[in-house]
Structures are given as structure tokens and as C-alpha cells.
Amino acid sequence: MTLLQLNAVGHVFLGRAVLEDASLRVEHGEMVALVGPSGCGKSTLSQIAAGLIIPRHGQVTRGYDRSAFVFQEPRLLPWATVEANVALGLSGHALSRAQQSARIADACRRVSLEESDWHKFPSQLSGGMRQRTALARALVGDPDFLYFDEPFTALDAALRRRMQDLVVTTVLNSGKGGLFITHDIHEALRICHRIAVLDRYGHGILDCVAVPEMPETRSDEMVFEMARRLVCDHPLFAVVDEHDERRLA
């Protein structure tokens, strides 16, 4: 069964159409990147897919049991420690206290959070550590489907690569799936199987580009060469490039 299917989804904010007719499928073991100019409706579409926004029209069919969302900002509880924040990802799981502690420790280690930081509060963490705590909170419940909305922009280059690799190994190699919003074509090419490009007027998805090879087998050279070809030669990506407000700023 398809993990996620969006059929002719549309939405309106304050009387203004944000998405008109967006359709997309995500299969088991597949990560799909959502790219497009700033304000074209990527976050709205992923939040509709996740059930956080009810669309004005269209159908959403979810073939997964559990999902988690990683936002651009970590959205941690300020009064709770790293461990307690990560534990929120286990709500609804029937686990003993020892099992919970083991799962939390494992999730923290996977995102490279040192044990000495697990008792700290968000105000005592760097921006990157806060974001890794949010990622651990998403992974700890072992979701079948993950939504990422520009999750790694606060991380330095080396850590961003490690977290991208973590997404590839934990999410994709076990038949899970996801949607990954990014403005970074290299990031999309490192992690995703397909790249869906949204129309700059917010009508929906213009088209999808399949990325050759499996993510784990793509070398840096391949990623750079593919990015160069997409940005320079592909008409879909010319639209993304020309109209991204942040690139023009």
C-alpha cells in the first residue's frame, strides 16, 4: 500500500488560494523532496499531508501507522530537559520505564548528543543541539513516516551531513518514507529518491524528477554533478532558482 497519497489537494488562507491542485504519492522506502520558491506552499502541503492542517479540498490517504514531524525550529518545551523532550516522542507507546530510558538514550546517541547534555534544558543548548533534540524526539518513537521542514539549516556543514546520513540509514533502509522540504538542492540529492518541484504561484506540484541511484550509493561527485545539471539545464529548477526570495536577498 502507498504510504502517502495526496489527490488534488487545495487550501485557502484568509481568502487567498495557497495550493490549488497538488497531487503526490510516496511509496514505502521512499523519501520525496519538496522544493520550490519561498512562499509557494511547501510547508502548507506537508502539514496537510501530516494532518496538521485540514485542506479546503482534495483527499489525503495515509498508509502509515505512526508519523513524526521535524520543523525548522526545534519547538522544545523550555521547562523540560533534553531527555524529557525526547520522551515526548514516546507518548502512546506502552513501554516500561527501563525500555523508555533505553530508547531515549539510543535516540540521543544517534543524533550525536553527548550524555552530559541529556539533563540540560533547551536554554543551555546551542541551536544545533536543540535541533538534534527535536530530531531525537522524532526518531525515538520509530515512526513509519517522517516529515521534515528544513530541519538542518541550523547545523554546521559536517553535522548536517551526519544528520542527512542518519535520515538515509534510519528512515529509508527500513521501508519507512517521508517528505523532506529543503531549499538546498544538494541536500535533496543526497537524501531523496524524487524531487517534487512546486509551482511558484502556489498552484501545486509542477513535476517530479527521479534521482538516479539509491541515496546511500551516491558519491559527492555524483551529487555535485547532478545539482549542476539540474540548476543549469533543467527548466523546472530554473523556476526555483529565479524566484526564491531568500536567494535574491
Nearer to ligand ATP, 14 or 98 (CB): 14
41 counts as binding ligand ATP under rule CB under 6 A = yes
Phi first, then psi: what are they for 164, rounded to 5°? -65, -45
Work out whether 38 is an interface residue with ligand ATP (CB under 6 A). Answer: yes
Residue type (1 letter), 90? L
Contact string 189-228 vs ligand ATP (x = CB under 6 A): ----------------------------------------
179 is a contact residue toward ligand ATP (CB under 6 A): no
Closer residue to ligand ATP (CB): 220 or 242: 242
What does residue 110 show for φ and ψ, rounded to 5 degrees? -65, -30
**Helix, strand, or coil (residue 242):** helix
8 A C-beta contact, residue 70 and residue 9: no
Interacting stretch for ligand ATP, rule CB under 6 A, among 1-9, 34-42, 60-68, 164-172? 34-42
Residue 91, CA distances (Å) to 62, 109, 118, 247 in order: 20, 20, 19, 39
Total number of residues that touch ligand ATP (CB under 6 A): 11
> What's the min distance (Å) between Cβ of 43 and ligand ATP?
3
Asked if residue 43 binds ligand ATP (CB under 6 A), the reply is yes
Nearer to ligand ATP, 201 or 224 (CB): 201
Site for ligand ATP in 3-22 (CB under 6 A): 13-14, 18
End-to-end CA distance of the chain: 43
Does position 81 interact with ligand ATP (CB under 6 A)? The reply is no
Q: In what order do the strands lie in the sheet with 57-62?
A: 16-26, 4-13, 57-62
Q: What does DSSP say about strands 145-149 and 177-181: parallel, antiparallel, or unpaired?
A: parallel
44 binds ligand ATP (CB under 6 A): yes
Nearest to 160 by CA among 192, 196, 184: 184
Q: Give the footprint of ligand ATP on this chain (CB under 6 A).
A: 13-14, 18, 36, 38-44
